[in-house]
Structure 1
Amino acid sequence: MRSKKSYFPVDTTAPSTLVASIERRVRFEEVDTLRMVWHGRYPSYLEDGRIAFGDKYGLSYQAFIQHQTAAPVVQMHLDYLLPLRFDELFTIEAALHWTDSARLNFSYRLINDEGQTTAKGYTVQLLTDTRGEMLLIVPEWIKEFRDRWQAGEWHR
């Protein structure tokens, strides 16, 4: 059931994707009457993945605030493959894909404790200033992050 196709074009000259993960347990307030996670909860799980990613690689919400930059989600896609159920342990993987544009391309996988992919998807976030004006030029601090990435400072 798991597709090998990437949500984003693969550039063989670009650095490998950077990945961070976090483990979670399905809480009672996240499930419906069938004890399955309600589909509207999944965007929060993607955010949990982005927070873990930001903490690991220096793209935290605090860094964005400090640098007066925002990255609103402008596109989101989710594929629901298997249900997650109340009290189940699962892992959220967030992977950032290389782009030269002023945006962040994340893909996600949610994996249950049996190693099965239960959901996958992606988000696209545009870089803006704090007024919401789209940035056409990548901010210097993001360029520095990308330079470190391209230099191989982080490994998957």
Structure 2
Amino acid sequence: MLVSTKEIEVRYAETDQMGVVYHANYLVWMELGRTQIIKDLGFSYAAMEEDGIISPVIDIQVSYKKPLRYGEMATIKTWIDQYDGFRVVYGYEIFTPTGETALTGTSSHVCVKKDTFRPIIIRKVYPEWHAAYEQAKK
């Protein structure tokens, strides 16, 4: 199974009055993780959008474990948790600088035509992505 890694330094603007990362910023970091695994597989989400295809989030599950603070390095691990040729579920773990788990989560996605929001079948429209996702989830 392919697990992609992305590191990000916590910026001041990402913290709340308590000095810890505001919870919604973790969702942005999960997006960075998705973008990284797609890149690691040799593809580009931006190129897919140029084709008129987008991949909205249809479900997201997050469990917060430990806080991250301004100036710390967060490590985002992302993998393909489930894939069936139509729906993709990405798995995530975000770690503190000491290796403790800050977050675990998943996000579910489908691909749709941007102009109609009609779903597409990834394995038919993007057979190269399909093959790469099948291989990466093993």
Specify the TM-score bucket, using the shorter chain as the normaliser: 0.7 to 0.9
Give the distance between the partners of 2:69 and 2:30, measured in 1 at CA.
17
**Runs ≥4 in structure 1, deviation > 6 angstroms?**
none
Query: For residues 5-55 of structure 1, what are the alpha-carbon distances to aligned partners after superposition, in whole Å with 9 as ceiling and x for unaligned?
Result: xxxxxxxxxxx3x32111111110011111100112111111111111122
Q: 1:107 aligned to 69, 91, 98, which one?
A: 91
**Superposition RMSD in Å:** 2.1
Asked whether 1:95 is paired with 2:64, we answer no
2:105 pairs with 1:121 = yes
1:1-156 matches, cutoff 5 A: 16=1, 18-131=2-115, 132-135=117-120, 137-150=121-134, 152=135
Identical aligned pairs, as a percentage? 25
Matched residue of 2:126: which SS?
Answer: helix
Closer, same or farther: CA 39–155 of 1 in aligned 2, 3 Å: closer
Q: Which letter does structure 2 place at the counterpart of 1:117?
A: T
Post-superposition offset of 1:155: 9.3
SS of alignment partner, residue 24 of structure 2: helix
Indicate conservation of the 8 Å contact 1:80/1:120, yes or no: yes
Consecutive unaligned residues in structure 1, runs of 5 or more: 1-15
Q: Distance in 1 between matches of 2:35 and 2:132?
A: 19
Matched residue SS, 1:84? coil
Aligned to 1:4: none
> 1 or 2, which has the higher strand percentage?
2
Matched residues in 2 for 1:82 and 1:106: separation?
A: 21
What runs of 5+ residues in structure 2 fail to find an aligned partner?
none
Alignment check: 8 A CA contact 1:71 1:103 kept: no
Partner of 2:79, secondary structure, is strand
**Could you tell me how far apart the structure 2 residues matched to 1:124 and 1:59 are?**
19
Instruction: Give me the TM-score of the superposition, normalised by structure 1.
Output: 0.78
Q: Which TM-score applies when normalising by structure 2?
A: 0.87
For the 8 Å contact 2:81–2:137, the answer to whether it is kept is no
